[in-house]
Amino acid sequence: MSDQRIWLTISASVVVMLAMRIFGYTLPAHLVSKERVLRITALIPIVLLAALIAVQTMTSDRELVIDHRFAGLVAGAIALYFKRSFLTVMVIAGATGAIFYNLL
Amino acid sequence: MAVAIPVGFYGAAFGAASISAGLDLLQTIALSSILFSGASQFAIVGVIGSGGGAMAAIMASALLGIRNGFYALRMAPLLEVRGLRRLIAAHITIDEATAVALAQDQSNRDSVKKGFWFTGIGVFIFWNLFTVVGALSAATLEDPAKWGLDSAVPAAFLALLWPQLTTKRLRIIALLAMVMALALSPFVTAGLPIISVVAIALIAGWRK
């Protein structure tokens, strides 16, 4: 891609991204404050995060895979179950993932 | 603040990926500072690196960025921002800032706001700093898996999701979202499997 095309791609992406972000903040309050809308928007980050975790851990180029990342996530989940701190969870998951990746 | 550390290393991986995809330093920095959405940035340099066109790159970035709009919808009533602060809040509305904010006790509006702003700005600084580091040392950082980074990042998100799953119903909803995203992944373009789970939130939230 030419330099000019790359800049075009970057600029267009930035405009689209900012528009989507601002849209969420500018919807009129009376639309967003209905009880049903509140229930739904409260659930949205939960389902998005769950989906993000699953896709980041168990797909690779759109194929489903179980690899070192899954081992890391399971180790992290165990640490969470035993109420370890955020940093501990991350280190345990990262170390487990790295061990599996470098050994397998 | 702890969220910002693995994110920083991922920023370095992005910087390296961007340079090896053929972007120059300024373009790489532009993506991290004014686009500022990791998945979209990786998608753009991925498309460019594999010889794809501008339209494909823009579409991929938009698709992966839609969820930021949904996060904005959720954060708007909690942050109560206007004017310039609203613009800045919008720009730092990302997975991490939203997740940390919502992991706080939501009856304490101050800690929700603090969680959002500290995380958003912290991640912004680390992400950009390490983008430059990664871009300048492109060759050495191309394999984040070797350092466990690709395992630490989803675990960090899990740690943020965990305290939000306070009831059995919420745990089932989260599990359904995971299954749905995975089931769709082989069949639809990247980004769609994640935002498609909004349908689950719609159905589950429709009636209590």
Q: What pLDDT score does A20 carry?
A: 96
Residue A89 lies in a domain: no
Residue A41 lies in a domain: no
Contact A24 B151 (CB under 8 A): no
Q: What pLDDT score does B91 carry?
A: 98
Residue A12 lies in a domain: yes
Residue A9 lies in a domain: yes
State which H helix or E strand residue B165 sits in. Answer: none
Lowest mean pLDDT among A20-24, A33-37, A48-52, B169-173: A33-37
Contact B74 A45 (CB under 8 A): yes
Average pLDDT over residues A10-24: 97
| Chain A residues inside the 8 Å CB shell of B206 | 36, 39-40
Residue A2 lies in a domain: yes
A49 pLDDT more than 90: no
Q: Among B93, B90, B166, B197, which Cα is nearest to A44's? A: B197
Range of the domain at A17: 1-32
Average pLDDT over residues A52-71: 92
Instruction: Give the bridge partners for A60, in sequence order.
Output: A63
Contact A13 B148 (CB under 8 A): no
Does A74 contact chain B (CB < 8 Å)? Answer: no
The shortest CB-CB distance from A98 to any of B27, B69, B146 is to B146
A45 pLDDT more than 90: no
ipTM: 0.88
Does B118 contact chain A (CB < 8 Å)? Answer: no
Task: List all residues 6 or more positions away from B205 whose beta carbon is below 8 Å from its beta carbon.
Answer: A36, A39, A40, A41, A42, A43
- Chain A, 12 to 41: residues with Cβ < 8 Å from chain B are 12-14, 16-18, 20-27, 29, 32-33, 36, 38-41
**Domain locations in chain B as residue ranges:** 4-164, 166-208
Which residue of A lies nearest to B150 if distances are taken between CA atoms?
A69
Q: What pLDDT score does B1 carry?
A: 63
Q: How many domains does chain A have?
A: 1
Q: What pLDDT score does B140 carry?
A: 62
pLDDT per residue over B78-101, tens digit each?
999 999 999 999 999 999 999 999
CB-count exposure of residue A35 (10 Å: 0-12, 13-18, 19+): exposed
Contacts by B45-54 with C-beta closer than 8 Å and gap 24+? B45/B14, B45/B17, B45/B18, B45/B21, B46/B17, B46/B21, B48/A1, B48/A6, B48/A9, B48/B21, B48/B22, B48/B23, B49/B17, B49/B20, B49/B21, B49/B22, B53/A1, B54/A1, B54/A5, B54/A8, B54/A9, B54/A12
Q: What pLDDT score does A33 carry?
A: 73
**What percentage of residues in chain A have a pLDDT greater than 90?**
68
**Residue B158 amino acid letter:** L
What the block records as the tokens of A55 is: 């896709």
Does B40 contact chain A (CB < 8 Å)? Answer: yes
| Chain B residues inside the 8 Å CB shell of A1 | 22, 48, 53-54
When pLDDT is cut at 50, 70 and 90, the band that residue A50 belongs to is very high
Beta carbons of B119 and B100 less than 8 angstroms apart: yes
Contact A12 B177 (CB under 8 A): no
Does A5 contact chain B (CB < 8 Å)? Answer: yes
pLDDT tens across the length of chain B (208 residues): 667 777 877 888 889 889 988 899 999 999 999 999 998 998 899 888 878 889 888 988 998 889 999 999 999 999 999 999 999 999 999 999 999 999 998 889 999 999 999 999 999 999 999 999 989 987 665 677 788 878 888 888 898 899 889 999 999 999 999 999 999 999 988 778 888 999 999 999 997 7
Tell me the C-alpha distance between B208 and B206, whole Å.
Answer: 7
Residue A103 lies in a domain: no
State which H helix or E strand residue A9 sits in. Answer: helix A3-26
Residue A28 lies in a domain: yes
Residue A27 lies in a domain: yes
